[in-house]
Amino acid sequence: MTSTASKKEVAESSFEFLHIELVHYLERRHKQVATEHKDDNDLISLETPYTKLELMGFRVGQRLIERMCRDHPRFNDNLEIIKYICKEVWNELFKKQIDNLRTNHRGIFVLLDNRFRWLLHTSPNSANTEPKEYANYVAFACGILRGVLANLGIESTVKADVTTLPACTFTISIQS
């Protein structure tokens, strides 16, 4: 198989359905396990849905980048890698580029996506006044970013903030 072979495509909605159901499944499972163990005196460590999603994303990111940049020449520095993520990786995942990239030139990169696709179909929870918890819907993406970076030799932490829907900021902190 050559890299020019036409890429197979599936509907993006297939992925979105799967992703939403994954979040729901992990939330259901978490509640269930927490209830089963609520009488245990010894505190069992429970992996939160966020942790699991992030870790799953990490593995997906690793595999994805392995296949994506097979024929890409070696990257010269971190900024080049981040730029590649903002353009190519984002395009692969979301058919668009990151809208804004900022950095403090000391290992922190802030990526802004004005219309983050995985949040397009979520709506604010009008029934209660508390801000809806979006963390679980962006955890997978954070994991993907961390996985992509890890496979390119960069250890990092990634967190996302949802301020106004459907915009999302990803903050990458590179460990020196």
Partner 1 sequence: MAAKHVRMGEAALSKVDKINSEVLTFTYGAIVTQLIKDYEDIEEVNKQLENMGYNIGLRLIDELIAKSGIGRCADFRETAEVISKIGFKMFLGISPAIVNWNGEYSEFSLLIDENPLTEFVELPEQYRGLHFSNLICGVIRGAMETLQMKIECKFVKDQLRGDDTTELRVILKEIMADEVPVGYGE
- Select 93 or 174, whichever has its Cβ closest to partner 1: 93
Number of residues that bind partner 1 (CB under 8 A): 30
Residues between 112 and 141 that touch partner 1 (CB under 8 A): 140
Check: CB of residue 90 under 8 Å from CB of residue 101: no
- 49-68 helix and 135-151 helix, angle to the nearest 10 degrees: 40
Check: CB of residue 146 under 8 Å from CB of residue 61: yes
Among 4, 14, 35, 126, binds partner 1 (CB under 8 A): 14
Residues between 15 and 44 that touch partner 1 (CB under 8 A): 15, 17-19, 21-22, 24-26, 29
- Select 145 or 174, whichever has its Cβ closest to partner 1: 145
* Tokens 């963390």 sit on residue: 135
Q: Is 74 in the site for partner 1 (CB under 8 A)?
A: no
Burial bucket for residue 148 (CB in 10 Å: 0-12, 13-18, 19+):
buried
**Least Cβ distance, residue 143 to partner 1 (angstroms):** 9
**Least Cβ distance, residue 144 to partner 1 (angstroms):** 9
Q: Would you state the structure tokens that stand for residue 63, as one six-digit string? A: 């595999």
Of the candidates 12, 29, 26, the one whose C-alpha atom is nearest the C-alpha of residue 135 is 26
Chain residues binding partner 1 by CB under 8 A are 7-15, 17-19, 21-22, 24-26, 29, 52, 56-57, 59-60, 63-64, 67, 92-93, 95, 140
